[in-house]
Homo-oligomer: A and B are copies of this chain.
Amino acid sequence: MNKTVTNATEAIKGINDNMVFAFGGFGLCGIPENSISALVKSGVKGLTCISNNAGVDDFGIGLMLHQRQVKKMISSYVGENAEFERQLLSGELLVDLIPQGTLATRLMAAGYGMPAIFTPAGVGTEVAEGKEVRTFNGKEYLMEYAFDVDFAFVKAWKGDTQGNLIFRKTSRNFNPLVAMAGKITIAEVEELVPAGELDPDHIHIPGIYVHRIFQGVDYEKRIEQRTLTPRA
């Protein structure tokens, strides 16, 4: 089942204004750089974007914010991003801040066909407002719903033509969960290999969750906080 497309522009066919997109990545680590570039070029707008973070001013989802393509961000931490802050304060941008584990688990729930999950995160806080609270074994939990994602964009280290994906180190982060959540999931990889070259025991996301895959180009892989140990 060959899912290969030639590049990001071909991969994003079918996107439309006002859709719900989800993106892998934590900060700028493991973000789908090629897909984001193609989305910026596409001019698609009115988007709801589920992503743990919102990029920085000139990279990642920050590029889409700059083009005013995003109507609403659903994130756990939106970090340092001046344009983001300006749009938020002016009311141009809506933001749903939700706990990071809740974000991860709501994506996972979509991939596992579970309509809702229970988590104690946010009980008693403003995150709980309007949500069903339920007690199990004397502890309170919020019921949180699975996300409904039109297009999911992920970045993997290696992938094969069948869509099987392997992630590298902490660039795995939200990528497998986002991959599982998409009605259409688009994976870009640093290395695309023929089916059979990946060890079936090493695959993090089986191809059944991936609809289109392409070999990415020109990865910048920007580091946000280069923190070093001085050499002795």
Residues 89 to 120 of chain A near chain B (Cβ within 8 Å): 105, 112-120
For residue A4, give the distance in angstroms from its CB to the closest CB of chain B. 23
CB under 8 Å from chain B, chain A span 164-187: 166-169, 172
CB-CB < 8 A to A145: which residues of B?
A: 136
B168 touches A201 (CB 8 A): yes
For A200, what are the chain B residues with a Cβ–Cβ distance below 8 Å?
Answer: 169
Q: Looking across the interface, which residue of chain B has its beta carbon closest to that of A204? A: B201
Asked if A141 is at the interface of the complex by the 8 Å CB criterion, the answer is yes
CB of A225 within 8 A of chain B? no
Query: A112 — nearest CB in chain B belongs to which residue?
Result: B105
Q: In the complex, are the beta carbons of B114 and A169 less than 8 A apart?
A: no
A21 CA / B113 CA spacing, docked (Å): 28
Q: A139's closest neighbor in chain B, by CB?
A: B115
Residues of B within 8 A of A226 (CB): none
Q: Which of B116, B136, B172 contacts A118 (CB 8 A)?
A: B116
CB of A125 closer than 8 Å to a CB of B: no
The 10 A-B residue pairs with the shortest CB-CB distance in the complex, in nearest-first order:
A115-B136, A202-B202, A114-B118, A115-B118, A114-B117, A116-B118, A115-B141, A168-B201, A116-B136, A115-B137
